Chain A
Amino acid sequence: MSEFRMPSLGADMEKGTVVEWLKQPGEKIARGEVVAVVETQKGAFEVEVFEDGVLSEILVPAGAEVPVGAVLARIDSGEPKPMAVPAPRPADMPAPSVPLPPPPRPSPRPAGERLRLSPAAARRAAELGVDPRGVAGSGQGGAITLADIEAAAARAARPSGEKGRRGFDPAAMRQAIASAMARSKREIPHYYLGLPIDMSRALQWLAAENARRDVENRLLAGVLLLKATALALKEVPELNGFWADGGPRLSTGIHVGWAISLRGGGLMAPAIHDADGKTVDLLMAALRDLVIRARTARLRGSEMTDPTVTVTSLGERGAERVYGVIYPPQLAIVGFGAVRPAPAVIDGAVAARPTVYATLSGDHRASDGVSGSRLLAAIDTHLQAPETL
């Protein structure tokens, strides 16, 4: 018997709401299968299990909000195991909060902290049988209001067959970004490097390649930048991984978090797993899939926690350079500006060449500028040999 816990789907996630259970007690589940939809400040995510077994008991009903680490369900795996979810990858994520009161309604607030609950909300909660300790407050100073209670009751009452609420609250997303970025700038001593990269060869290769492809199979320049970065990280591994327990913990897998801006505001950087080993076609397909799912709130929980590095590409209409803020606890963010004609000195003469300005923001606790320079140089080298990408 093991426990399936509320996962941490981002550095600053403290709690989540179970929107929907996709598996019912008694059903068999396989490793990697999506069992629940969880809503966070960044929207709704599908959460997978990490082992085979039978879902034996659901402890947190749909609609309830619980802290990261709360036991959501028990899984009968046939053998005793401590936990169904591996320890959250970055070790400085909130640890599964210990010992939780017996479900069904765990409290996201530390014991002793007074609940800020309006009198009207308190009375309504009692009438509706809603435990206000599991409800996030929207009132003054985070107080729980009547509307919060009624919304929680409505979520809890939603038939399990009905699709959970999808999409995200832009204000909550802003808050999530605010806390992650503020934490980054507070904790991570960034260093910044930049390198203009000649894109003539890459774009020529891309044009020739796309000329013989169907419209739907055409490649975007971004996928070359992605692949070149992944390959470069393989050569400069000290920028790939997390800062955890007071030291760098490098990752063998290169899971690139690709920054996707959402319509209506906000930003996500879900993982493209093992990007160094994927062909450009596979990467292109993965990118398309991610963008669609990010914008329809269909991302998986693991895609939010897995990235070992972030790449942000501003695209054709973007600025020339981007000096990124590292998403904690990652070690680096690689940025690409718009590809633009720029003067380049070639054989002692000035010529206009399509150029992309690559930048690196690195965590100076984990690496130095020398490594960063090597990374940018390696990206450049790979982009000069597009046929090998």
Chain B
Amino acid sequence: MSAPPRRTTYREAVREAIREAMLRDPRVFLMGEDVGRYGGCYAVSKGLLQEFGEERIRDTPLSESGFVGAGIGAALNGMRPIVEVMSVNFSLLALDQIVNNAATIPHMSGGQFAVPLVIRMATGSGRQLAAQHSHSLEGWYAHIPGLKVLVPATLEDARGMLWSALEDPNPVLIFEHVQLYNMEGDLDAAAGPVPISGAAIRRPGRDLSIITYGGSLSKCLAAATALAAEGIEAEVVDLRSLRPLDDATIMASVARTRRVLIVDEGWRSGGISAEISARIVEQAFYELDAPPARLCGVEVPIPYPKHLEDASVPQAESIHAAARTLVRPGPA
């Protein structure tokens, strides 16, 4: 912890995490579309093929069901695979492998087989990749018992969650928001594995809790800064994990602030925000001073044009406005 922090990006932090895992454990390998020669479609694995060779950095055919299934098989047989799926939209092709095999085998085998598999995928909008590459479906996976669903939103978590996920005997899905890859910041030179359970309070506040994760975290923090200028102190809770959800941290925050705004890019109907809202009402009803509010993606396929894409998901301005309405109802 003595080395000074260094300037880096989320992309480099993920790459560092993969390198560390490869160096620490010979059972670890990376597999996915274009991860080798192309360096990853978001350039996360650039240079790793040269460093680790084709045995451990494996380009796959365009067959999500095939290579995710191969990853499950490798995990069952003692390996520690990291499978990269290019986008959460494409992961639907591997849904049978993930939901019917990875999530169920430990259960159906009576605990005889663990599936220590990590699947990384890109999620979210903001790169003008239109409706087949931009959705936020991580909330769906949070529905599935047997999976763990991680949503790193910071450099520390991008750097630290992978190793902890590989150590977990269960299949773990890590969702990397596409807008975060270029995010720059300072990372401790000694940064390493972090716990993969538990939400984090990224900003303390007394007037309302903004609960969010992934790509929306920085927007919520920007909104909180703007709110502070109006005398509204927002507490920003970064969920970090969508399954399991850290009920204790959520409820403790709500008990402090008594008002809650849940922000996520996914669609509102049946989304993860609905689940969080329901839990708050179930567990912290008597703490509430206003109905829980949700700010979610507009219920349309993510549009291609930049202005429509921006308008289709929560932004700092709309988060700011929703939070203000919650704390100061009526005319401003």
Q: What residues of chain A have their CB less than 8 Å away from a CB belonging to chain B?
A: 118-123, 138-141, 143, 145-147
Contact = CB atoms under 8 A, between A and B. Distances in A.
Nearest to A122: B286
B270 interface: no
B329 A118 contact: no
Interface in B252-291: 258, 285-291
Contacts of A123: 286
Contacts of B286: 119-120, 122-123
Contact of B258 (A120, A122, A143): A120
A247 B288 CA distance: 50
B210 to A, nearest CB: 17
A73 B294 CA distance: 48
Contact of A145 (B285, B287, B289): B289
Interface in B6-65: none
Contacts of B329: 138-141
A118 B287 CA distance: 9
Nearest to A121: B289
Interface string B280-306: 000001111111000000000000000
16 contacts: A118-B288, A118-B290, A119-B286, A119-B287, A119-B289, A120-B286, A120-B287, A120-B289, A121-B289, A122-B286, A123-B286, A138-B329, A138-B330, A139-B289, A139-B290, A146-B258
Nearest to A147: B289
Contact of A146 (B285, B289, B291, B330): B289
B224 to A, nearest CB: 21
A147 B329 CA distance: 13
A140 B329 CA distance: 5
B147 to A, nearest CB: 33
Nearest to B281: A119
Contacts of B330: 138
A146 B257 CA distance: 11
A122 B330 CA distance: 21
B278 to A, nearest CB: 15
Interface in B100-116: none
B288 A120 contact: yes
A118 B258 CA distance: 10
Given A138-B330, A139-B329, 20 more contacts: A118-B258, A118-B289, A118-B290, A119-B286, A119-B287, A120-B286, A120-B287, A120-B289, A121-B289, A122-B286, A123-B286, A139-B289, A140-B290, A140-B329, A141-B329, A143-B290, A145-B289, A145-B290, A146-B258, A147-B289
Contacts of B289: 118-121, 139, 145-147
Contacts of A139: 289-290, 329
A146 B258 CA distance: 9
A146 B286 CA distance: 11
Contacts of B258: 118, 120, 146
> What are the 6 tightest A-B residue pairs by CB atom distance, in nearest-first order?
A140-B329, A120-B289, A118-B289, A146-B289, A119-B286, A119-B288
A139 B288 CA distance: 12
Contacts of A145: 289-290
Contacts of A138: 329-330
A140 B287 contact: no
Contacts of A146: 258, 289
A139 B291 CA distance: 10
Interface string B231-247: 00000000000000000
Contacts of A121: 289
Contacts of A120: 258, 286-289
A147 B327 CA distance: 11
A263 to B, nearest CB: 21
A139 B258 CA distance: 12
Nearest to B258: A120
Nearest to A143: B290
A337 to B, nearest CB: 31
A298 B291 CA distance: 39
A256 B97 CA distance: 85
Among A120, A122, A141, A145, residue most surrounded by chain B Cβ atoms (within 10 Å): A120
Contacts of A140: 290-291, 329
B115 to A, nearest CB: 42
Contacts of A122: 286
A262 B289 CA distance: 34
Nearest to A149: B289
A118 B281 CA distance: 12
Contacts of B290: 118, 139-140, 143, 145
Contacts of B287: 119-120
A120 B286 CA distance: 5
Contacts of B288: 118-120
Contacts of B285: 119
A123 B286 CA distance: 7
A67 B168 CA distance: 64
A145 B330 CA distance: 14
A89 to B, nearest CB: 32
A138 B290 CA distance: 11
B288 to A, nearest CB: 5
A219 B296 CA distance: 65
B16 to A, nearest CB: 45
B112 to A, nearest CB: 47
Nearest to A174: B331
Interface in B140-184: none
A57 B330 CA distance: 39
A289 B286 CA distance: 50
B274 to A, nearest CB: 19
B229 to A, nearest CB: 21
A213 B193 CA distance: 89
Contacts of A118: 258, 288-290
A121 B285 CA distance: 11
Nearest to B285: A119
Nearest to A144: B289
Contacts of B291: 140
Contacts of A147: 289
B325 to A, nearest CB: 8
B97 to A, nearest CB: 44
Nearest to A137: B329
